[in-house]
Amino acid sequence: MRITRVAAIAMLLTMLGGCVERMFFYPDSITYTTPAAQGVVSEDVYVATTDGSRLHGWFLPARGTAKGTVLHLHGNAANVSNHLPLVSWLPARGYNVLMIDYRGFGRSGGTPSLDGIVDDAAAALSYLRTRGDVDATRLIVFGQSIGGATALRLLARDAAGVRLAIIDSAFASYRGIARAATAGSPLGPLAALSAGVLPGKDKDPITAVQSIQVPLIFVHGARDSIIAATNSERLHAAAPGSQHWSVPDALHIMGLAQPGSWREKLVQALNVAVS
């Protein structure tokens, strides 16, 4: 079969784009910790997506009567067990939590993609609304890192029942973060060549945020060396009425990781949102 030069270049760019997109994901199936080890009750859940992927997650019920339910969308590495300590404290504060592994992470089937994990988040949100032990009018979305970017795209298309979104250490643009992550490395030219294959401005988190009606809180550690804090500043500026919390001395997704004033500030915001 004869392939034209234009077609060959297009195929090459598509392949390069796939390589760059995979740079966003570092999944594994290692068990880093368990709900029991964290002192919380859990239920294994499986969620079907519209394209047939089967996602695994943990539902952590609130202690006592639930004030609301948090959908947690984790970062780009490992699986839910690695991110569990970041939210395992919420049930004791009166909140159900659903942690879901994106396709290709942990025990979830499929292969991750930037558009695919938005579909995964949408499926998880829809699943929560079917549970008899969840008040579908008191939902909170908590996205961290790539999960924060994904949460913004999710909420731009489906925010029914969501009272508040916490967007922690997210980036504003896919192509922008790819360039920043590969600057000065051998992968830099690869990212530049394939930038056009990554999601464009129409799918960027900073575009999505402009159509979201849900109250937003942007959180970012001032010492984040993985995703520059200026990303959250840009997102906040693009979302009138949103809040921006810059956490001094905190590293990537660590601003709310430890007990203290910032975590208490979060609990207060959750309580107000669901009241």
pLDDT tens-place string over residues 221-257: 999 999 999 999 999 999 999 999 999 999 999 999 9
User: How do residues 113-166 score in pLDDT, each as one tens digit?
Assistant: 999 999 999 999 999 999 999 999 999 999 999 999 999 999 999 999 999 999
Which has more pLDDT, 181 or 185?
181
CA dist., res. 236 & res. 162, Å (int): 19
Q: Given this model, what pLDDT does residue 16 score? A: 42
Q: In 32-47, which positions are buried (b, 16+ CB within 10 angstroms) versus exposed (e)?
A: eeebeebebebeebeb
pLDDT, tens digit (0-9, with 9 covering 90-100), for 68-121 = 999 999 999 999 999 999 999 999 999 999 999 999 999 999 999 999 999 999
Strands (E), the chain: 26-27, 43-48, 54-60, 68-73, 77-78, 95-100, 139-144, 162-168, 216-221, 243-247
2 confidence band (pLDDT: 50, 70, 90): very low
pLDDT at residue 198, rounded to an integer: 81
- Which phi and psi (to 5°) does residue 141 adopt? -110, 130
Query: Tell me, which fold does domain 5-274 have in CATH?
Result: Rossmann fold (3.40.50)
pLDDT band for position 190 (50/70/90)? low
Q: Are the C-beta atoms of residues 40 and 33 closer than 8 Å to each other?
A: no
pLDDT reading at 14 higher than 80: no
Name the pLDDT band for 3 (thresholds 50, 70, 90): very low
* pLDDT per position as a tens digit, 262-274: 999 999 999 999 9
pLDDT recorded at residue 179: 85
For residue 191, what pLDDT is reported? Answer: 54
Q: In the structure, what pLDDT confidence band is assigned to residue 192 with cuts at 50, 70 and 90?
A: low
pLDDT-derived band at 7 (thresholds 50, 70, 90) equals very low
Distances from the Cα of 44 to the Cαs of 101, 217, 260, in angstroms?
11, 29, 30
Q: Average the pLDDT over 38-52 and give the result.
A: 96
Q: Is the pLDDT of residue 8 over 70?
A: no
The residues with which 181 forms a beta bridge, in sequence order, are none
pTM: 0.90
CB atoms within 10 A of CB 199: 19
Number of C-beta neighbours around residue 5 at 10 A:
7
Q: Residue 187 — very low, low, confident or very high, per pLDDT cuts 50/70/90? A: low
CB 199 within 8 A of CB 223: no
Read off the pLDDT band of 15 (50, 70, 90): very low
